[in-house]
Amino acid sequence: MRRSEPLDLRNLALTPDLHSYLLTQGRMTPDPLLEELIDRTCALVPDQAHMVVAPEEGALLTFLVRLLGARDIVEVGTFTGYSALCLARGLPAGGSITTCDVSAEWTALAREFWTRAGIADRIRLRLGPALETLRALPPEPHLDLAFIDADKPGYIGYWEELVPRLRPGGLLLVDNTLFSGQVIEDEPGEKAAAVHAFNEHARRDDRVQMVMLPIADGLTMARRLPPARLPAPPGPA
Tell me how far apart the terminal alpha carbons of the chain are, to the nearest angstrom. Answer: 59
Residue 189 in domain: yes
User: 230 lies in a domain?
Assistant: no
Give just the sign of the alpha carbon dihedral 187, 190, 192, 198. Answer: positive
7 lies in some domain: no
Q: What is the pTM of this model?
A: 0.91
> What DSSP character marks residue 41?
H
Which pLDDT score, from 0 to 100, does residue 235 have?
Answer: 64
Backbone angles phi, psi at 110, to 5 degrees: -60, -50
- pLDDT for the residue numbered 227: 83
Tell me the β-bridge partners of 41. Answer: none
Residues of the domain holding 176: 16-224
What Rg, from alpha-carbon coordinates, does the chain have? 19
Does residue 11 lie within any of the structural domains? no
76 near 88, Cβ under 8 Å? no
d(CA 148, CA 176): 9
Low-confidence ranges of the chain (pLDDT < 70): 1-10, 229-237
pLDDT at 11: 75
Taken in order 93, 142, 208, 213, the sign of the CA dihedral is positive
Would you tell me how many other CB atoms lie within 10 Å of the CB of residue 25? 9
- Give the residues across from 208 on adjacent strands: 224
| Alpha-carbon gap, residue 18 to 188, rounded angstroms | 30
In a domain, 9, yes or no: no
In-domain check, residue 10: no
What is the per-residue pLDDT for 8? 57
E strands of the chain, at which residues? 72-76, 96-101, 123-127, 143-148, 166-175, 208-213, 219-224
Does some domain include residue 1?
Answer: no
Supply the pLDDT for residue 228: 75
Residue 3 belongs to some domain of the structure: no
Contact 156, 201 (CB under 8 A): yes
Tally of structural domains, the chain: 1
Per the CB < 8 A criterion, the answer to whether 172 and 166 are in contact is yes
- CATH code of residue 77: 3.40.50.150
> What does DSSP say about strands 208-213 and 72-76: parallel, antiparallel, or unpaired?
unpaired
| Residue 233: per-residue pLDDT | 64
Encode pLDDT of 49-75 as tens digits: 999 999 999 999 999 999 999 999 999
